[in-house]
Homo-oligomer: A and B are copies of this chain.
Amino acid sequence: MTTVLDMFGAHPGGPGKSGALTADEVARCVEECVACQTACTICADSCLAEPDVAALRQCIREDLDCADICGATARVLARRTAFVPFVAAALVRACAAACASCAEECASHTGMTHCEQCAQACHRCERACQDVLEKLLPQ
């Protein structure tokens, strides 16, 4: 399957269009955001089907928020034309926050496999967001 990085390579603006960020770093973050959005959507639905759904309200809510924020972040980072660094940075920071919070909540449900899978996706996405932030906001 064609990857995000393959498609960035075919962009008429060329592969390097987001300041100090390489196409590879942006592509990885897009892929992790997309994977995390899907994982959170499925985790929320799995929690909803659990016998003790009443104990999973916080998890469902954080899953839904994280899915929405990851979805928006994937789209914004997927766009390379006329990139606006300060808007992207603020959104990626929000995405990292949502992933960190959702990962912590999911990781607290030991023995619930969908929450463990979701926590892993959130951790990976948070790390990819932090990597992007370091390049977007050099000190």
**Interface residues of A, Cβ cutoff 8 Å to B:** 1-2, 4, 6-8, 10-13, 30, 34-35, 38-39, 41-43, 45-46, 48-51, 53-54, 57-58, 60-62, 64-65, 67-69, 71-72, 74-76, 78-84, 86-87, 90-91, 93-94, 97-98, 101, 113-114, 117-118, 120-121, 124
B72 and A35 contacting across the interface, CB-CB below 8 Å: no
Q: Give the complex CA separation of A31 and B82 in angstroms.
A: 28
A76 and B80 contacting across the interface, CB-CB below 8 Å: no
Would you call the interface of chain A mostly helix, strand, loop, or mixed? helix
A81 and B48 contacting across the interface, CB-CB below 8 Å: yes
Which of B46, B69, B94 touches A7 (beta carbons < 8 Å)? B46
- Given contacts A11-B114, A62-B84, could you give 4 more A-B pairs where the C-beta distance is less than 8 Å? A2-B120, A12-B114, A41-B74, A69-B87
A75 and B11 contacting across the interface, CB-CB below 8 Å: no
Instruction: Enumerate chain B residues within 8 angstroms of A120, measured Cβ to Cβ.
Output: 2
Q: Give the complex CA separation of A107 and B81 in angstroms.
A: 20
Q: Give the complex CA separation of A12 and B47 in angstroms.
A: 8
